[in-house]
Amino acid sequence: MKNRAILVLLVCLFCSATICTAQTASLAPRQVERAADASPVIIPFELVNRHIVIKVKVNNSAPLSFVLDTGDKFAIINLERARALGLTLQGTAQMRGAGAGSSSGAFVKDANFTVAGLSDFSQPVKLALPLSKMASRLGQDFDGIIGSDFIVQFVVEVDYQSCTLKLYDKDKFNYAGTGEVVPLKLNGGGHPIINAEVTPFGKAPIEGKFVVDLGSSLPLALYSPFVREQKLPGTESKTIRSLGIGGAGGEAKGQLGRVAEVRIGKFRINQPLTFFSEDEEGAFATSEVLGNIGSQIMNRFTVLLDYNRDRIILEPNARFAAPYDRAFTGFSLEALGADYRTFRISKILENSPASDAQLQSDDIITAVDGKPAAQFSLTSLNELFERTATYKLQVRRKDQTFTVSLTPRRMI
């Protein structure tokens, strides 16, 4: 195989958390008609920093953690994991994503992945890319990604509240519920594109094309050409410098603020947190779409991905009307060590609870309210710190250990 370059859009990691619950109540109960032999295969997933993580095997390996990402097309395995498994690697694949940078991987030959509970199914792993650096921001091993090549084989129902995927026979599936049917088109990269409407503060609604990106843990990202054209975020939207937003291409530059509203079909999302990109290169600098709609909007729905009929079906769940009122610490965290239980502050935001507490980059949080930090996951810590409460942090800075009070607050 000759050396070739390939452009892929990969996950955007944003340090915040969502925990699955057993609650499955819906504001719009659905009815799904099925043939007698067309019951869905149910695949559990773990929601890790708002990323859908399922277990797969590659060539009968031990179970690996792969992210389901509608912002990706091919099955991709972490380059280090591919080498450890002894996979055959050929040529060069160039990786671009959120952020301005890029890195190189390889094409994979004669490797397939399987999904537990999905009998008689396997699909090729196409690429091996260096994903290890993103594991510290996910807080666990990040072995790979599966995207539209997998999704298009089924009708995929994503139930964020029960943390399950339901995989329906795409030929026998017939929807008869009351959810909103939103037309979509897959672009050349396999990403689902829909029409939606964004209303910035002080402006009229603006309709345009958006990527539906379940691999982005942001609610809404507006790309830099649109941001510049519309002079966003504008004076009516309070903003803070973004921390911890990035992906395969490194750190994405921009501001976090809000827009007045996002409308998808009949659904209106009030004042969602919004990333206003300032990137000059990479996925967030394209003018082909206005931006992407990520998991913090989509997790307010049960989402049915029906690519074969060019549609997404949205059914609001019990979280639909919840406000975007999270608090901010003013720091970003990374999880280090073999067990990802060493929590290092990587960045500090000026004029924030973190700077008020005189925390610094490279500080290690060793305990929270007397509980050893090793008893938390990165997901649970980030979820905890989204609440407006005062926490006693035990912190290690080089050879010193001390305690500070941290009170996250709503900053935008």
Q: Per residue in 229-270, pLDDT tens?
A: 999 999 888 999 999 676 655 678 999 999 999 999 999 999
Three-state secondary structure call for residue 378: helix
Q: Would you state the pLDDT for residue 100?
A: 57
Contact 342, 364 (CB under 8 A): yes
Alpha carbon of residue 82 to chain centroid: 23
Indicate the pLDDT class of residue 22, thresholds 50, 70 and 90.
very low
Confidence band for 335, pLDDT divided at 50, 70 and 90: very high
Decide which of 93 and 44 is more confident. Answer: 44
C-alpha 298/C-alpha 293 separation (Å) is: 7
Residues with Cβ within 8 Å of residue 256, at least 6 apart in sequence = 239, 240, 241, 242, 273, 274, 275, 276, 412
Q: Answer whether residue 65 shows pLDDT above 70.
A: yes
Mean pLDDT along residues 355-374: 98
* pLDDT for 164 beyond 80: yes
96 pLDDT band (50/70/90 cuts)? Answer: low
Angle at CA of residue 333, ends 299 and 342, nearest 5°: 115
What is the model's pTM?
0.90
Residue 209 buriedness (CB in 10 A; 0-12 / 13-18 / 19+) = middle
| Whole-number Å distance between alpha carbons of 33 and 321 | 28
Q: What is the pLDDT of residue 381?
A: 97
Give the least confident one: 123-137, 306-320, 353-367.
Answer: 123-137
Distance CA 290, CA 136 (A): 29
pLDDT, residue 41, reads 96
